[in-house]
């Protein structure tokens, strides 16, 4: 496990997320079993499996299906009845523990918003060392026709300290943020759109 992934896991856990890391298909399946046994019993999922969130469905589907024998709801009528939402990420930044989700037609945001549990699938190639590097990527996306109308940077579960300054999770958004990181292989990164001109004050960090 390299430093960036270690950093990311540390930050996410500090913010109150549950993080699972696997280096093989069997380890990842075990992670999903743990999630299932921990009482996160999805009665239906969000668009995770059948939707566009996962750039490599041939990799993830068997892993999830081995642990979660539940029906997949791609565009459920009653989104509010879903108990677990599954999404991927566009990228994940290690130094701030941030998961970037772009809301597009293939990757809607409601699975990360309405259900009380949000499961996020991250592949090693999507982890960047700094928030700045991730935002550089978003800038590239913004230059092209792929500009996402809504972007959500998640750095922890829903929380508030509005009552007596005491920290409480799960106000309106998900109570539990569960992140599964796959240390193997590469997911194709939807690369930069053609020629994005920039005036820079700093150089982007390389991974």
Stretch 13-52: interaction string toward other proteins, x if CB under 8 A: --x-------------------------------------
Q: State yes or no: residue 6 binds other proteins (CB under 8 A).
A: no
Q: State yes or no: residue 108 binds other proteins (CB under 8 A).
A: yes
Q: How many residues bind other proteins (CB under 8 A)?
A: 54
Minimum Å gap between C-beta 94 and other proteins is 11
Q: State yes or no: residue 76 binds other proteins (CB under 8 A).
A: no
Q: State yes or no: residue 81 binds other proteins (CB under 8 A).
A: no
With H, G, I as helix, E, B as strand and everything else as coil, classify residue 191. coil
Q: For residues 54 and 182, is the Cβ–Cβ distance under 8 A?
A: no
**Which two three-digit tokens encode residue 156?**
């922890």
Minimum Å gap between C-beta 30 and other proteins is 28
Q: Which one of residues 28, 40, 87, 98 is an interface residue with other proteins (CB under 8 A)? A: 98
Q: For residues 90 and 137, is the Cβ–Cβ distance under 8 A?
A: yes
Q: Of 2-10, 26-34, 130-138, 186-194, which segment contacts other proteins by CB under 8 A?
A: 130-138
DSSP 109-176: SGGGTSSSEEEEEEEGGGEES-HHHHHHHHHHHHHSTT--SEEEEE-SSSEE-TTTT--EE-SSS-SE
Residues 93, 153: Cα–Cα separation, whole Å: 10
Which residue, 122 or 135, is less far from other proteins as judged by CB? 135
Q: Which one of residues 53, 158, 181, 187 is an interface residue with other proteins (CB under 8 A)? A: 158
Dihedral of the alpha carbons of 161, 167, 170, 176, in degrees to the nearest 10: 150
CB contact set of 145 (below 8 Å; sequence gap of 6+): 193
Which residue, 28 or 179, is less far from other proteins as judged by CB? 179
CB contact set of 78 (below 8 Å; sequence gap of 6+): none
Contact residues toward other proteins (CB under 8 A) are: 11, 15, 75, 80, 95-98, 103-105, 108-110, 112-113, 130-132, 135-136, 139, 142, 147-166, 168, 170-174, 198-202
């Amino acid at each position: 496990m390299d430093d960036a992934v270690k950093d990311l896991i540390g930050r996410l856990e500090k913010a109150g997320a549950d993080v699972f890391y696997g280096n093989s298909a069997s380890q990842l399946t075990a992670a999903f079993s743990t999630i299932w046994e921990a009482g996160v019993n999805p009665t239906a999922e969000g668009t995770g499996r059948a939707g566009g969130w996962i750039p490599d469905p041939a990799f993830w589907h068997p892993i999830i299906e081995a642990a979660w024998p539940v029906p997949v709801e791609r565009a459920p009528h009653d989104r509010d009845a879903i108990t677990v939402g599954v999404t991927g990420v566009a990228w994940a930044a290690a130094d701030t523990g941030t998961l970037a989700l772009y809301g597009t037609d293939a990757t809607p945001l409601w699975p990360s918003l309405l259900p009380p549990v949000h499961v996020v699938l991250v592949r090693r190639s999507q982890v960047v060392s700094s928030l700045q590097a991730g935002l550089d990527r978003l800038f590239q996306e913004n230059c092209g026709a792929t500009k996402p109308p809504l972007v959500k940077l998640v750095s922890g579960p829903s929380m508030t300290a509005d009552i007596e300054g005491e920290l409480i999770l799960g106000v309106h958004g998900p109570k539990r943020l569960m992140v599964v990181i796959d240390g193997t292989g590469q997911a194709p990164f939807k690369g930069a759109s053609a020629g994005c001109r920039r005036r820079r004050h700093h150089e982007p960090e390389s991974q």
